Amino acid sequence: MDRFLIPQESAQNETRVAATPETVKKFIALGCSVFVERGAGVLSGFLDDSYIEVGAELVEIGDEKSWAECDVLLCVQQPSQELLSKLSAGALIVGLLAPYSNNKLAKSLKSEGLSALALELLPRISRAQASDALSSQANIGGYKAVLLAASALDRYFPMLMTAAGTVQPAKIIILGAGVAGLQAIATAKRLGAVVFVSDIRPAVKEQVESLGARFIEPPSVAEHPTESGGYAREVSEAFLLAQRQLLSDHLAEADVAICTAQVPGKKAPRLIDEEMLDRMRPGSVVIDLAVSQGGNCAKTKPLETVIRKGVKLIGASDLPCTVSNHASALYSRNLLALLNPIITNGEVILDTDDELINGSLISKDGVIRYPEVVSSGGEN
């Protein structure tokens, strides 16, 4: 019988938890035993008693014995190196492990002889949808970005006809129409804004228009295919230059820009430069969800609001943590969906013939399986 451990997350500002009482109950029904660190779910609205009620055992935070005896650690973000060193060789970590930008991860996995499933690397096939934590969290990011923009903006979002005259609807530009961008479109439309969208993947246009937004065609610069396996590929600097020229007039008239454009494992494309910011109206708002990857917009800083010539630049890298209850509920269901099919008699069997396991298993007992991915990033 595998012993699962649900830690209190140790990363700064992290409010989510990797298992809720709902999923703990299901893991126990599958024959696993589950240990939960005291207070692990409190910041996302799940009290210790609710875990005890479904059969989990509470342990103290960082308790040596619980970590040493843990077979499967379910986490949101990678625990600190100090905590990882408490695990025994052969233990499995499952979480959003930031494999592209985390040199220390490979070091800990190797030195402690750990196995690890990084959810960021799940192949995007239909069977993976229920386990897709990037999507469940990006969806929340897109929704919350619009709410944040609406409360930071000095104008209404909807068109209003009042006795004092008519107010025009806000104009919102959404850069990148992946999961976060599409949710941002839907949320901004519900609030009554007029929405324009830029993306480089041709497949996106129809999705954008079906949500009632207007698609800004990409520049007509010859480029290698902009898409591979459903993900965007990195475009050339010449393409980005043409794209910025195209976006500049739109931004000059915009009230809000929501930046969600990313290319997996690469620096985020720079889509708003300082000259473009100079043309934006004082009082307008930019929300940059790509800020941790270098940002789509110049001058944004993670977790900060910078006011530049009256334009509010909000570096929003933690939005799922601000909706911690639902973010945790969905994330923990993603983990259950991934592990459920590979648990037999309470034990997790890592079968690399399974496409999902093969794609996301970055380390097996300390042997790094994708060194080109896992050791490629900078220091954490």
Q: How far apart are CA 75 and CA 53, in angstroms?
A: 21
CB of 266 to ligand NAD, least distance (A): 9
159: number of CA atoms within 13 Å, CB side?
A: 7
| Residue 110 identity (one-letter amino acid) | K
CA distance 371 to 30: 33
CB of 207 to ligand NAD, least distance (A): 8
Pick 65 or 267: Cβ nearer ligand NAD: 267
Annotated active-site residue 137? The verdict is no
Selected binder of ligand NAD within 25, 26, 171, 201 (CB under 6 A): 201
Q: How near is the Cβ of 297 to ligand NAD at its closest, in Å?
A: 12
3-state secondary structure of 3: strand
Nearer to ligand NAD, 8 or 131 (CB): 131
Q: Please, what is the minimum distance in Å from the beta carbon of residue 99 to ligand NAD? A: 15
Say which residue the tokens 């060789």 belong to: 89
Q: Does 320 bind ligand NAD (CB under 6 A)?
A: no
DSSP track, 240-300: HHHHHHHHHHHHHT-SEEEE----TTSPPP--B-HHHHHTSPTT-EEEETTGGGT-SBTT-
- 200 contacts ligand NAD (rule: CB under 6 A): yes
Regarding 263 and contact with ligand NAD (CB under 6 A), the answer is yes
363 part of the active site? no
Amino acid found at 141: G
Sign of CA dihedral 58, 59, 65, 69: positive
Read off the DSSP letter of residue 351: -
Binding letters toward ligand NAD, positions 219-248, x by CB under 6 A: -----------xxx--x-------x-----
Work out how close the CB of 64 gets to ligand NAD at its nearest, in angstroms, rounded to a whole number: 39
310 is a site residue for ligand NAD (CB under 6 A):
no
Between the alpha carbon of residue 124 and those of residues 72, 199, 231, 336, the distances in Å are 24, 19, 9, 17
Enumerate the active-site residues: 124, 129, 132, 135, 231
Task: Note the residues at the interface with ligand NAD (CB under 6 A).
Answer: 124-126, 128-129, 132, 134-135, 138, 175-181, 198-201, 204, 230-232, 235, 243, 260-264, 269, 271
